[in-house]
Structure 1
């Protein structure tokens, strides 16, 4: 009889993300992820206590990936306004590339009452640093505004909710330019 397969956290996370992206977030179950990594469901309980832990793994991995994307883009410019625009564009690109994982980025409170994940802490720090450099005063309201706008736009785009015609890319850039201008000139 072959030795049981070892499941790494990276393999578990990748399998959960694949299930989510291919079949939807509702399809992420202990059984589905166990099958994806080639073990029996009881074996996963050594790594996660329940389905919400799998969803948190996806959200944390998504936050880490997005933070890397954002850090690379914001690090390539010294213009604070351009950094804010880069953050929104990175979020949109990520949302297009991984829509199901992107939807879990802001579902943390619904997933459990545990503290923020390491990935979300890093992403939040990167966002706050960029906003602090670009806007006067407390960066938190501006960071929340930028995040809410980008998330809302991307959620509507993924749902096919822009049905009035026109160019969605143009609408994104219009909204982004308007918002960045407002955030960087507020008093």
Structure 2
């Protein structure tokens, strides 16, 4: 079967992004992507090898977009201000692109594994740079990266799932917890 004119791997990916952001990453299937593009599922095989590849491309795109946003927000900053900008931008990305954010957390194994690891490592390296003024050992800095990720991923995930039922400002809660985390690093 010949590829449909005007359809390419990037258009297929962008259709998957739209579905993921609107309905969640589990709603991204070959059938849903094909339907959104007005083609039959077998037509997608002219552009991707299958659902695993599509999800791997989606995860890579998500990590690249997340890195682009947090890197831009923290440009020229280090220490407390840099970490705060990173965290607020990370949370905003999760809010504005829920399906992409979810996809970045569910990194598939196998396909594009090297590129996926490199994309994730760029984010880790950025946080390590932001943490430099705290003068942590390499090991402690990596623990801090994990701690920060746990804090902001936990916050983003609970918010997406409606897990914050108390009548308190989410922004104040995020500010409070970031302040505690950063104060701990300063000591």
User: 2:125 and 2:7 mapped to 1: Cα distance?
Assistant: 31
Whether 2:100 is the aligned partner of 1:101: answer yes
The residue number in structure 2 matching 1:29 is: 29
**Cα distance in 2 for residues equivalent to 1:13 and 1:174:** 38
Going from structure 1 to structure 2, the CA distance change for 1:23 and 1:127 (only over 3 Å counts) comes to: same
Q: Is the aligned partner of 1:182 residue 2:184?
A: yes
RMSD: 2.1
- Offset at 1:133? 4.5
Residue 112 in structure 1 maps to residue 112 in structure 2: no
For residues 30-179 of structure 1, what are the structure 2 equivalents within 5 Å? 30-77=30-77, 79-108=78-107, 111-114=108-111, 115-116=113-114, 117=116, 118-138=118-138, 139-179=141-181
- Of stretches 130-139 and 22-31 in structure 1, the one that deviates more from structure 2 is 130-139
Deviations 1:121-161 (A, max 9, x none): 33233223323454411221111110111000111111111
TM superposition score normalised by structure 1: 0.85
Moved more, 143-152 or 96-105: 96-105
Partner of 1:122, secondary structure, is: helix
- Contact 1:16–1:58 at 8 Å: present in 2 too? yes
Aligned counterparts of 1:46 and 1:184: Cα–Cα separation in 2: 54
Query: Contact (CA 8 Å) 1:84, 1:134: kept in 2 or not?
Result: no
Q: Unpaired segments of 5 or more residues in structure 1?
A: none
Tell me the TM-score normalized by structure 2: 0.85
The whole-number CA distance in structure 1 between the counterparts of 2:31 and 2:133 is 46
Per-residue deviation at 1:28?
Answer: 0.6
User: 1:135 touches 1:183 (CA, 8 Å); kept in 2?
Assistant: no
Tell me how many residue pairs correspond in the alignment.
180
Runs of 4 or more consecutive aligned structure 1 residues displaced over 3 Å after TM superposition = 132-135
Between 34-43 and 64-73, report the one with greater CA deviation: 34-43
Distance 1:152 1:135, change over 3 A: farther
Write out per-residue CA displacement over residues 11-69 of structure 1, whole angstroms, 9 at most, x where no aligned residue. 22211010111222222111221233343322222333332322222221121111111
Evaluate the alpha carbon distance shift between residue 134 and residue 72 of structure 1 in structure 2; reply closer, same or farther with a 3 A threshold: farther
For structure 2, the 5+ residue unaligned runs are: none
